[in-house]
Amino acid sequence: MTKKDSPEVLRRLWSEIYPSGSGDAILEELIGEIKNAAGNITFGPQPEGWYKDAIVYSLYIDFFNETFSGLTEKLPQLRDLGITCLWLLPILDSPMRDAGFDIRDYRNIRADLLGMPETASVEAKQKAFRDFLAEAHKNGLRVIFDIAMNHTSEEHPWFVESRKGPKNPFRDYYIWNKDSNRYKETRIIFKGLCPSNWEQDGNSYFFHRFFEFQPDLNYRNPKVLLEICRILLFWLSQGLDGFRADAIPYIWKEEGTDCENLPQAHTIIKIFRAVLDEVRPNTLLLAEACQPPAEVVKYFGEGDECHAGYHFPLMPMIFKTLALQDAKPVLNILHPSVTPDILPENQWFIFLRLHDELTLEMVSPEDRAIIHGHYCKKPLWDFRVGEGISGRLSEMLDRNPDKIGLAFSIMLTLSGTPIIYYGDEYAKLNDEEFYESFRKETGKDDTRYLGRGPLYWGKIKSELSDPDSLTSKVNATLRKQLKARSKVFSRGKNIWANPQITGIKPGTQPVLAYFREFEGEKVLVLNNLSENALEVSTIDGKTVNGIDMLENKPVKSPLTFTPFGFKWIRLAN
């Protein structure tokens, strides 16, 4: 979309959401603000497709190193690891009842994260954040953060006003009803934690998809859409490189539907994208849509919605593949019949663990039984009554450095942009003490907090000095992998390979094998999923001759593998 035609595109999209013309004056106000923002921004366009080549590191500021100053001290260390993009988990002002996803002020950063007193001015905090962004950019690191677009905290000033009564001007910023009989087909996301999507407040009820202290915004009111666009414009002006669009499948509600993935939600995302493209092209809009791949790709639109999206179903299938020591679960989930092809400008973001649970929400009951049965090693790890498992990567993989290295090998070589969750590079373990303190503080038995909690840098330093420690082994393996990565992994084609394996039972596939190709470079990736050593004689009936990218030495058939071993082989031309 060019700047010349963007107002007309916005008008067309706006009319799809508000066909009566009731929001036309609000739209013209928005167009004026977009034009002003584009004229005043001091940052140039970002490189096209930068997010494809990124290595993303996801972190909580306070758990990582207490404050932004603490994070700034570690920027060279992160860059040395191979990180190129920071995903800051919620940093905006919040009562912190849902780890910051309950936003109280969209323009105000939490004072404690900046090492400032609560009395510090909003302007002072914003300047401190701009200073941090400048330092990150000097270190070659782009920065994105979360914007919860579906809901706010109940302490947000809009909702504080809204709950004062039906005549309050902010009442229809949210979804109120006289009873709880609307949107009956809508599933409860926090199964086992919330009994309903409606919460009584006085003589009325308000709607929420997540916790009862997170009321959903009402996008039927054009003023709400205007306000969220203004928030995007504000953070663009501060120098942010992208936004993780939280919970976007739920932002539009329609009676008689399940209130997920509705056409109006896609139109709203197109409006967000148009705003970003007009002001600072190639600012990342990342879809957080926990949906089947065929639904997620719809949030890419025709290159006019999100640039990228999380491949949520791949993650549990990686764990299933590891549990069964069989490549088929990963092969099946990435088959074009399940994961459709995407446009060249779009990208999947892939991960092993994030701040949330290992979600089993979108898998079959049979897969849920397998994965939950294998990885929920303690009753405490259960989340959402069997629909998820709370746990750190190193815990789920039995604190076995070979298994952990294998999992990283799979994530770092399949198609997509990889995300490393803070602490996983040090084999961080579950933190039961931190979880228990949170449970007592909030009254919510949210076991996802097992996988959060602080890094203890003194302990990490001590363990890194011991080459036999789990921390040291995992960190050394990951560093070697990240150093070996090239654009063949971030942008190359993925072609499945058929390894001929000596002495295995017919019908089993204990090696996940594939070629990656880009601009004349061809790499063969072999991941031994088995707990046994094995030998690969040929690939697709042909012998292999190339350079082991991880060991930087020649290799040729037959190829031998230790249990859970892996090889990345740059093939000879």
Say which of 62, 98, 246, 402 is annotated catalytic: 246
C-alpha 490: how far from chain center: 17
**Catalytic site includes residue 260:** no
Position 4 scores a pLDDT of: 47
Q: Could you tell me whether strands 56-59 and 417-421 are parallel, antiparallel, or unpaired per DSSP bridges? A: parallel
Answer whether 209's CB lies under 8 Å from 280's CB.
no
pLDDT at position 444 is 76
The whole-number pLDDT of residue 21 equals 83
Q: Judge whether 152 and 105 are in contact, CB under 8 Å.
A: no
Residues of the chain with pLDDT under 70: 1-5, 573
CB atoms near residue 542 (< 10 Å):
10
Active-site pick, 62, 102, 241, 288: 288
Residues contacting 355, CB < 8 A, separation 6+ = 58, 60, 89, 99, 421, 448, 451, 452
Contact between 52 and 417 (Cβ < 8 Å) = yes
270-298 confidence digits (pLDDT tens): 999 999 999 999 999 999 988 889 999 99
Pairwise CA distance, residues 202 & 453, whole Å: 37
pLDDT tens for 468-524 read 999 999 999 999 999 999 999 999 999 999 999 987 877 789 999 999 999 999 999
**Nearest to 361, CA basis, from 343, 340, 388:** 388
pLDDT of residue 572: 86
Triad 348, 304, 263: Cα angle to 5° = 95
Which residue in 263, 337, 336 sits closest to 301, CA to CA? 263
Q: Residues 284, 56: contact at Cβ < 8 Å?
A: no
Fold topology of 53-124+138-148: Transcription Regulator spoIIAA (3.30.750)
Distance of CA 470 to the CA centre of its chain: 26
- Quick check: 454 and 396 in contact, CB under 8 A? no
pLDDT for the residue 178: 96
Strands 308-310 and 284-287: parallel
* Every domain of the chain and the residues it spans: 1-40+221-306, 53-124+138-148, 153-216, 311-485, 493-571
Neighbours of 96 (CB within 10 A): 18
Bridge-based pairing of strands 176-177 and 198-201 is unpaired
246 is catalytic: yes
pLDDT for res 468: 98
* Number of Cβ within a 10 Å radius of residue 426: 22
Per-residue pLDDT at 384: 80
Query: Measuring CA to CA, which residue among 258, 225, 306 is closest to residue 15?
Result: 225
| pLDDT in the model for residue 20 | 84
Give the domain 311-485 fold. Answer: TIM Barrel (3.20.20)
- CATH fold group of domain 153-216: Oligo-1,6-glucosidase; domain 2 (3.90.400)
Which of 404, 380, 393, 397 lies closest to 428, judged by CA? 393
Superfamily of structural domain 493-571:
Golgi alpha-mannosidase II (2.60.40.1180)
Question: What pLDDT does 1 receive?
Answer: 44
Structure-token pair, residue 522: 């061809």
